[in-house]
Chain A
Amino acid sequence: MQAITTTNLTKKYETLTAVDHVSFEVQQGEIFGLLGPNGAGKTTIIKMLSTLTTPTEGDADVWGHSIGSARDDVRRSIGIVFQDPAVDDSLTGRENLDFHARMYGMKKELRIERIREVLALVGLEDKADLLLKKYSGGMKRRLEIARGLMHYPRVLFLDEPTLGLDPQTRRHIWDYIKMLNQREKVTIILTTHYMEEADSLCSRIGIIDHGKILVVDTPTALKNAMGNDLLTIASADSEGLLAGLTGQDWVKDIQQYGDQLLVGAQQAEEKIPMAVHIAQRLDIAITSISLRKPTLEDVFLHYTGKTMRDEDAAAGDAPRGKMRRHGGHH
Chain B
Amino acid sequence: MRHWFNPQVLYALWLREMKRYVRARSRIIGSIAMPFFFLLFLGTGFKNFRPESLPAGIDYLNFLAPGMLAIVLQFGSMFIGIAVLWDRQFGFLKEIMVAPVSRVAIVLGRTLGGVTTAVLQGVLFIAVAMLAGLKVSGFGGFSLTLFFMILIACAFVNLGLSIASLMRDMQGFSIVMNFVMVPLLLLSGAMFPVEQFPVWVQVLCYINPLFYGVDGLRYGLIGMSKFSPFIDAAVLFSFCAAMVGLGTFLFSRSDID
Partners in one complex: yes
A→B interface (CB under 8 Å): 47, 50-53, 72-73, 75-76, 78, 80, 82, 84-91, 95, 99-100, 102-105, 147
B47 CB within 8 Å of chain A:
no
List residues of chain A with CB within 8 A of the CB of B101.
72, 103
Q: Is the CB of A103 within 8 A of B19?
A: no
Question: Can you pick out 24 interface pairs between chain A and chain B where the beta carbons lie within 8 Å of each other?
Answer: A52-B94, A52-B256, A53-B255, A53-B257, A72-B2, A72-B101, A75-B99, A75-B100, A78-B98, A82-B94, A84-B91, A85-B91, A86-B90, A86-B95, A87-B91, A88-B90, A91-B19, A91-B20, A99-B16, A102-B11, A103-B9, A103-B99, A103-B101, A105-B9
Query: Knowing A88-B92, A102-B8 touch, does A51 contact B98 (C-beta < 8 A)?
Result: yes
Q: Is the CB of A99 within 8 A of B2?
A: no
Query: Knowing A75-B100, A90-B19 touch, does A102 contact B12 (C-beta < 8 A)?
Result: yes
List residues of chain A with CB within 8 A of the CB of B6.
105
A55 to B8, CA, bound (A): 31
A268 to B84, CA, bound (A): 58
Q: Is the CB of A82 within 8 A of B91?
A: yes
Query: Knowing A86-B95, A88-B16 touch, does A104 contact B100 (C-beta < 8 A)?
Result: yes
B→A interface (CB under 8 Å): 1-2, 6, 8-9, 11-12, 15-16, 19-20, 23-24, 90-92, 94-101, 255-257
Q: Is the CB of A87 within 8 A of B92?
A: yes
Q: Is the CB of A99 within 8 A of B98?
A: no
A100 to B9, CA, bound (A): 10
Q: Nearest 4 A-B pairs (CB), nearest first?
A: A86-B91, A102-B12, A75-B100, A103-B99
Q: Which of A73, A75, A91 contacts B98 (CB 8 A)?
A: A75
Query: Knowing A72-B1, A72-B100 touch, does A90 contact B95 (C-beta < 8 A)?
Result: no
Q: Is the CB of A85 within 8 A of B12?
A: no
Besides A82-B91, A90-B19, A102-B12, 10 more A-B contacts (Cβ < 8 Å) are: A51-B98, A52-B98, A53-B256, A53-B257, A76-B100, A86-B91, A90-B23, A91-B20, A95-B19, A99-B16
Q: Is the CB of A103 within 8 A of B24?
A: no
A53 to B11, CA, bound (A): 27
List residues of chain A with CB within 8 A of the CB of B2.
72
Q: Which of B8, B16, B94 contacts A86 (CB 8 A)?
A: B94
List residues of chain B with CB within 8 A of the CB of A51.
98
List residues of chain B with CB within 8 A of the CB of A103.
9, 12, 96, 99, 101
A82 to B257, CA, bound (A): 12
A330 to B11, CA, bound (A): 60
Q: Is the CB of B95 within 8 A of A100?
A: yes
List residues of chain B with CB within 8 A of the CB of A104.
99-100
A316 to B146, CA, bound (A): 56
A85 to B23, CA, bound (A): 21
A96 → chain B closest CB, angstroms: 9
List residues of chain A with CB within 8 A of the CB of B1.
72
Q: Is the CB of B90 within 8 A of A89?
A: yes
List residues of chain A with CB within 8 A of the CB of B12.
99, 102-103
A52 to B255, CA, bound (A): 8
A52 → chain B closest CB, angstroms: 5
A42 to B96, CA, bound (A): 22
List residues of chain B with CB within 8 A of the CB of A82.
91, 94-95
A90 to B27, CA, bound (A): 13
A84 to B87, CA, bound (A): 12
A91 to B94, CA, bound (A): 17
A91 to B97, CA, bound (A): 18
List residues of chain B with CB within 8 A of the CB of A90.
19-20, 23-24
List residues of chain B with CB within 8 A of the CB of A76.
100
A14 → chain B closest CB, angstroms: 14
B9 → chain A closest CB, angstroms: 6
List residues of chain A with CB within 8 A of the CB of B257.
47, 52-53
A87 to B24, CA, bound (A): 17
List residues of chain A with CB within 8 A of the CB of B24.
90
Across the interface, name the chain B residue whose C-beta is closest to A102.
B12
A73 to B1, CA, bound (A): 10
A73 to B15, CA, bound (A): 26
List residues of chain B with CB within 8 A of the CB of A91.
16, 19-20
List residues of chain B with CB within 8 A of the CB of A147.
95
A220 to B59, CA, bound (A): 86
A20 to B255, CA, bound (A): 21
A76 to B98, CA, bound (A): 9
List residues of chain A with CB within 8 A of the CB of B96.
103
A85 to B101, CA, bound (A): 21
